Chain A
């Protein structure tokens, strides 16, 4: 009897401990997710009471007749690749310099990290001001033609502006990951390489870089998950413009859903984004898992 009572208490306790988190996660993710799947099969403007069931028509439309979705996907892919490569190369370079014995390194680390603690939307606005007003004054005082270009008004340049501002905002984050990684590289290993006569370049590529592999895994993973969802900066910096040239997939979903009131169509696109993120994440995790086992 006592044993049975004990077991029951254990079960009740298990329930009390885990039920709250399950409810929270269900409200935030699972219920909305199921609703997303349901709405994606409908045509719905959000006003009428009953969304009209149209099967897979939304998906057909997305993949065959939606030029904005195609261009925003291309924008996102291009942005993702460049963001991942550039931010990791720059962050490693910065980390290498700041890992040395500079007297000002505490200040330097803080300086490069600060934009990361700021809200992306606000960062976008501040840079909009710099691009639109600041560059005019900078151009007048330096005479450099660079400042005269239309950084937000030209569709080619606007892409680079979005990329640049995103990198400016988040480079500090990747930098501190690499600094932490470098600090776990034992000094005697670097010294041993110096004794062997390896120059700084050789030493970097044959000793430091391989030892940074775990940090690179983490940083690339984070960069990828952040880049595929790029949204806030675009909203405040370019508003998707000029034209639709800086629409990312996430921005396109937002526009379709909340500006054009195509609720069914927007959620269908949202589901496509989810599947893309899922595939990319699973592929990446498998690759990294395999490599970790080998190493």
Chain B
């Protein structure tokens, strides 16, 4: 390939065409969200005749988009905050303590990675109802603390091992201890691994479907974006122009974030997979 520029250009063109074909379904979704019902029914693959955002304003109001967006944001932010705090603190202590108890707790923390969510979904719902965490945006966010902890503890635990203990000791001599030691000395050193945890968990919580379906589907005010799109399509089975609009509105935030943070997202996903 290096010695053959013509071959390279051909490969380049073929790959770009292939990539565009690969993304064609997404283009179709966008095009059809801009069409009227008539236009969608006569020809799906034609470009919209004129750009009209009528569908968008309709769906925006109907599903109360700003509210859903806020819900998604609260759930994701709350979940993330808890996962990072609770897991990093615990992983640090567990990694620094050599006792048997510490090993047992570590095992208890990471073992649930083997439990498929569908195996416990009904009883998770029952537990959440008992604790009054169901039907609440905040409750859903809190639940993610536990669901996200195993992977996060695992990733943090491995990373803390690589931080020399002398750092803790010199900080102790300086008078720092407990949480102050952790947050002023150790936590800043965990920046790269925190980024990995954040990226993986944001993608997961933002898009998650089954847990929100079980927890917050009852009320229109607590729904998440994906959940609302799902219910919306259920109601408008043949109004594809509205359905596609709802789809585009649900995925657009992710795509915009991805375009800006592409490099970090891919790096984080790879790091998470390799460590996990």
B-contacting residues of A (Cβ < 8 Å)?
13-14, 16-18, 20-22, 24-33, 35-36, 39, 97-98, 100-104, 107-122, 125-127, 129-130, 133-134, 136-138, 141, 168, 173, 176-177, 180, 218, 222, 228-229, 231-232, 236, 250, 253-254, 257-258, 263, 266-267, 270-271, 273-274, 277-278, 281
Contacts and interface: CB of A to CB of B under 8 A. Distances in A.
26 contacts: A13-B177, A17-B93, A21-B86, A22-B90, A24-B82, A28-B124, A29-B115, A31-B123, A33-B120, A98-B15, A102-B15, A110-B258, A110-B262, A111-B19, A118-B255, A121-B230, A122-B226, A122-B247, A125-B230, A126-B26, A129-B240, A138-B44, A231-B118, A253-B121, A254-B121, A263-B122
A130 B121 contact: no
Nearest to A19: B90
Contacts of B162: none
B207 A36 contact: no
B178 A20 contact: no
Contact of B2 (A33, A101, A231): A101
Contacts of A14: 93, 97, 102
Interface of B: 1-2, 8, 11-12, 15-16, 19-20, 22-23, 25-26, 28-29, 32, 40, 43-46, 82, 86-87, 89-90, 92-94, 97, 102, 105, 108-109, 112, 114-124, 126-127, 131, 143, 145-147, 149-150, 153, 177-178, 182, 203, 207-210, 226, 229-230, 233, 240, 243-244, 247, 250-251, 254-255, 258-259, 262, 265-266, 269-270, 273-274
Given A28-B143, A108-B19, A229 B25 contact: no
Contacts of A27: 127, 131, 143, 146
A137 B43 contact: yes
Contacts of A97: 11, 15
A114 B26 contact: yes
6 closest A-B pairs by beta carbon, nearest first, are: A28-B146, A17-B93, A24-B146, A32-B123, A119-B207, A111-B19
B206 to A, nearest CB: 8
A129 B41 CA distance: 12
B1 A228 contact: no
A228 B117 CA distance: 11
A175 to B, nearest CB: 10
A25 B127 CA distance: 12
A117 B255 contact: yes
A108 to B, nearest CB: 5
A229 B118 contact: yes
Q: Is the interface of B mostly helix, strand, loop or mixed?
A: helix
B45 A134 contact: yes
A36 B25 contact: no
A32 B114 contact: no
Contacts of A236: 230, 233
A122 B250 contact: yes
Contacts of A25: 108-109, 112, 146, 149-150
A110 B263 CA distance: 9
Given A14-B97, A253-B118, A31 B127 contact: yes
Contacts of B230: 121-122, 125, 236
B23 A111 contact: yes
Contact of B16 (A16, A108, A263): A108
B119 A36 contact: yes
Contact of B1 (A100, A112, A281): A100
Of the candidates A18, A102, A109, A236, the one having the most CB atoms from chain B within 10 angstroms of its own CB is A18
A168 B43 CA distance: 24
A229 B210 CA distance: 12
B87 A21 contact: yes
Given A17-B92, A35-B126, A109-B266, A26 B146 contact: yes
Nearest to A200: B1
Contacts of B178: 13, 16
Given A111-B22, A112-B19, A270-B119, A18 B93 contact: yes
A126 B258 contact: no
A17 B11 CA distance: 55
A117 B265 contact: yes
A68 B90 CA distance: 43
A114 B143 contact: no
A112 B22 CA distance: 7
A114 B7 CA distance: 27
Contacts of B254: 117-119
Nearest to B82: A24
A120 B15 CA distance: 25
Nearest to A106: B262
